[in-house]
Structure 1
Amino acid sequence: MTKTAIHVDHIARVEGQGNVHVVIEDGAVKTVEMNVVEPARLFESMVRGRSWREVSYISSRICGICSASHVVTDLKAIERIFGVQVTPRTRALRELLVYGSYLQNHATHLFVLAAPDFVGQKSVFPLAESDPALFEGALGLKALGNELCTAVGGRSIHPITAVVGGFTHEIGAGEYRALADKMDSFAAFAAAAVDLFAGFPVPRIATAGDMLAMVEPDYYPVECSDTARFLDAGIEFDANDVGAHLEEYAVPHSAALLARVRETGSPFFTGALARINASWQHLGQNAKVAAAKAGLRPPERNPFMNNVAQAVELVDALDRCAGICRALAEPGAVEGSSEPVGFEVRAGRGVGFTEAPRGALFHDLELDGEGRVVHASIMTPTAQNVANLEADMRVLAEQLVAEGAEEDAVRLEIEKLVRAYDPCLSCSVH
């Protein structure tokens, strides 16, 4: 019997700590594991007993990149409990805040974490010498995401101006117009990034599981909807019913809770690729052209194409944010005020739902009559993705072994796949 064990300890260029373990016996793949080795974060325990006023500030600390999404998701959960209806202007500002984190995350993931895989480098730093324009453009795009989050949320991470019912501060018309002009200035770079990542060769595989994304009629939603859909199963549900359709479970080899579709038992993928499969027709014109040129059209099931999907979302986010900023700069163009609306504190349960950069994010909160947290559960995109990542690693390993690939090649392609998922392993543990 011939046995090959492929171990990657502390896989590089991902956020958090995780190991890959693959065992091949007599030409057959026997074991495929993604070992998340992060300790428990205990954020749900931290907020228990705390006031509704504090919860979003605490939960934003789960992730530096996705902090805006955690804040908005918590606010949506609390507002569902209190029966708060925010204004269209507040919705627009929240969308800008979430998209600011998209610019931060996608620029970091694509150019710092993923790109070295395809140019034969171990890190991004050699690009500063070999392709300084690409390097500077990537840093500039990340900086623009920081600037947008600061303008809307009060600082680049862990926003402070977004509160239940609205915002405590809003910038002026001139600042909105300046932001819109900066968005426009990066449009050509973002379009070129789609071409760049579409040109990198990747294995042709199909994901093993379903896909999950927020949906909304006639829109590409990241914040404005409470409706989620499993694309393959055709199951559509309100976020408040997430527990009836999404099942979390533990495995011995990982500190992360894994997830599957409750009705089918299938693992699933959530993220940019799932969003584009769900709402391709609602992309902006420039993003749709860039996606079509890159060959990214539904149904696209190759998880390596998540890199291209993120690049397409950069094009879409820049155009969309520029339009929102210009609308906010015009008096009366966006209905209502961003000042917090009135409400009464009451007991109840609500689930907030947003599309964080890495995928669907759910915050399930229960409050008592004084607005203190009785129960909290946070389901992050990476926690939802780990089971499907393992399944896709098996698909990839079996294909490579059948093709006679050498051990080093199998190891490299599996590492590329892990990074294509853009995981935040620190966020995958509870």
Structure 2
Amino acid sequence: MASTSITVEHMARVEGHGDIRLVIEGGQVTTCEMAVVEPARLFESMVRRRSYEEVPYIASRVCGICSSSHVVTDLRAIEAVFGVEVSDRTEALRELLVYGSFLQNHATHLFVFAAPDFLGHKSVFPLADVNPELLQKALGLKALGNELCTLVGGRSIHPITAVVGGFTHEIEPAEYLRLADAMDRARPFALECVDLFRDFDTLDVQTEGDLLAMVAPGAYPVCTSDTARFVRAGYDFAVDAVEEEIEEYPQHSSAAFLARARRTGRPYLTAALARVNASWDALCKDARYAAAKAGLRPPEYNPFANNIAQAVELVDVLDRCAALCRRLAADDFAGPSAPVPFTVCAGRGVGFTEAPRGALFHILDLDGEGRVERASILTPTAQNIANLEADMAQLAEKMVDADYDEAMIRLEIEKLVRAYDPCLSCSVH
């Protein structure tokens, strides 16, 4: 292929609106852009002068899937300012909230967005006709995530029971045990998901960027650590230093800011694949076995493997949630979940969680009355775009060298974008 221009307007089967622009001249990729065309949503401005009590509920509206993650991240930022230390029981409930989002997101992404690419369908609707049982089981996983968020957070999106210092409500022990049993029943299908995505053919692309994930000794953390790791560069940093370690910058082709590591200048990927690379040894036994069986072992730098990593996390989440629910039912966590007392004061706080799509940071500056003076949000998709563009360019060059036709290049580029599981609406928060 000598020269061509490939444009995908309104990329399908992703959250939000974005365009792809790929220009090949003389057999070389000269332009490769993932243009986010969503308008700015101005959440960082929206919360200024608002009380700390309002901010988590406003921030949750950044995303309908990751709303639990945004609430917990904001709460952690506020608690960092006020010096609040929550109980082990509250931490367990917050983990359940975040894991509910994982079940919602991963099941939707894998089967509604990604699977049609590999099964020769334009959308999920032919899949529903060809294999309705598969889709119904996948939607059952999503429904289980919805139920978990509803019972723990008060509703399936935009939770209301999680507040600074704890929770305003808890379900009865019998409900926890019922949820645990439901998690156990869902595990066999989650294991099938890993096998299914293992068997899908993908091209060999090795991202040249870094990978960023939350880490903690002996753990697979999602909301209980203040340490982040750049996996390939091999260094950790405390979450308080996030603005010194991560640089956001504008690009003419996108309404979203892009990101890179300040120390190395490299773009990076933050997603399920980054978490598996960073905390492989801490995966639950069944999840680690399923990952190894699927050929997913660190180091794994093929971004297409993010689909398999999400499937592995479904297994891991079900195991963890079942265990957490049974321990909560048995009152096996120290301290109550009721909000602990605290004193409002001025200061800067950084919240950090692993949202389903990757690392999520909220930075808040509060005045002496607990009102927001400045807010900054780093969403996973905004952090991923620069690395995604680099991977797209690498993939396109491989296909040009292999003499792929234009239709195949377009399809594989779209599959790569969807493997990243972007939420383009979140990226313009």
In the alignment, which residue of structure 1 is the partner of 2:364? 365
- 1:114-167: CA deviation from partner (whole Å, max 9, x where unpaired): 000000001111222211221110110000000000000000000000000000
In the alignment, which residue of structure 1 is the partner of 2:169? 169
Q: Does 1:139 align with 2:170?
A: no
- TM-score computed with the length of structure 1 as normaliser: 0.99
Helix, strand or coil for the counterpart of 2:312? helix
In the alignment, which residue of structure 2 is the partner of 1:243? 243
- 1:161-220: CA deviation from partner (whole Å, max 9, x where unpaired): 000000000001000000000000100000000000010000011012000000000110
Q: How does 1:72-111 map to 2 (within 5 A)?
A: 72-111=72-111
In the alignment, which residue of structure 2 is the partner of 1:155? 155
Instruction: Name the CA distance, whole Å, in 2 between partners of 1:64 and 1:94.
Output: 17
Instruction: Name the CA distance, whole Å, in 2 between partners of 1:239 and 1:85.
Output: 16
In the alignment, which residue of structure 2 is the partner of 1:406? 405
Helix, strand or coil for the counterpart of 1:216? coil
Helix, strand or coil for the counterpart of 1:24? strand
In the alignment of these two chains, the number of paired residues is: 429
Q: Does 1:257 align with 2:257?
A: yes
In the alignment, which residue of structure 2 is the partner of 1:178? 178
Q: How does 1:35-46 map to 2 (within 5 A)?
A: 35-46=35-46
In the alignment, which residue of structure 2 is the partner of 1:349? 348
Instruction: Name the CA distance, whole Å, in 2 between partners of 1:87 and 1:380.
Output: 27
Q: Does 1:326 align with 2:326?
A: yes
In the alignment, which residue of structure 2 is the partner of 1:394? 393
In the alignment, which residue of structure 2 is the partner of 1:127? 127
Helix, strand or coil for the counterpart of 1:346? coil
Helix, strand or coil for the counterpart of 1:405? coil
In the alignment, which residue of structure 2 is the partner of 1:337? 336
**Contact 1:208–1:395, Cα closer than 8 Å, also in 2:** no
Code of the residue aligned with 1:142 in structure 2: it is K
**Contact 1:230–1:236, Cα closer than 8 Å, also in 2:** yes
Instruction: Name the CA distance, whole Å, in 1 between partners of 2:329 and 2:109.
Output: 31
In the alignment, which residue of structure 2 is the partner of 1:64? 64
Instruction: Name the CA distance, whole Å, in 2 between partners of 1:263 and 1:244.
Output: 9
5+ unaligned residues in a row in structure 2: which ranges?
none
Give the CA deviation at 1:2: 4.5
Code of the residue aligned with 1:205 in structure 2: it is V
- 1:12-69: CA deviation from partner (whole Å, max 9, x where unpaired): 0000000000000111111101110010010000000000000000000000000000
Instruction: Name the CA distance, whole Å, in 2 between partners of 1:283 and 1:232.
Output: 20
Give the CA deviation at 1:229: 0.6
Helix, strand or coil for the counterpart of 1:391? helix
In the alignment, which residue of structure 2 is the partner of 1:415? 414
Helix, strand or coil for the counterpart of 1:126? helix
- TM-score computed with the length of structure 2 as normaliser: 0.99
Helix, strand or coil for the counterpart of 2:376? strand
- 1:366-393: CA deviation from partner (whole Å, max 9, x where unpaired): 0000000000000000000000000000
**Contact 1:267–1:387, Cα closer than 8 Å, also in 2:** yes
Code of the residue aligned with 1:347 in structure 2: it is A
Instruction: Name the CA distance, whole Å, in 1 between partners of 2:75 and 2:120.
Output: 43
In the alignment, which residue of structure 1 is the partner of 2:20? 20
Greater CA drift, 70-79 or 27-36: 27-36
Helix, strand or coil for the counterpart of 1:325? helix
Helix, strand or coil for the counterpart of 2:232? coil
Q: Does 1:112 align with 2:112?
A: yes
**Contact 1:351–1:363, Cα closer than 8 Å, also in 2:** yes
In the alignment, which residue of structure 2 is the partner of 1:216? 216
Give the CA deviation at 1:235: 2.1
Code of the residue aligned with 2:351 in structure 1: it is G
Give the CA deviation at 1:334: 1.0
In the alignment, which residue of structure 1 is the partner of 2:33? 33
In the alignment, which residue of structure 2 is the partner of 1:198? 198
Code of the residue aligned with 1:335 in structure 2: it is A
- 1:308-361: CA deviation from partner (whole Å, max 9, x where unpaired): 000000000000000000000003x11110000000000000100000000000
Code of the residue aligned with 1:103 in structure 2: it is L
- 1:85-109: CA deviation from partner (whole Å, max 9, x where unpaired): 0000000000000000000000000
5+ unaligned residues in a row in structure 1: which ranges?
none
Code of the residue aligned with 1:313 in structure 2: it is E
Q: Identity across aligned pairs (percent)? A: 68
Instruction: Name the CA distance, whole Å, in 1 between partners of 2:128 and 2:304.
Output: 25
RMSD value, Cα = 0.8
Instruction: Name the CA distance, whole Å, in 2 between partners of 1:53 and 1:129.
Output: 47
Code of the residue aligned with 1:144 in structure 2: it is L
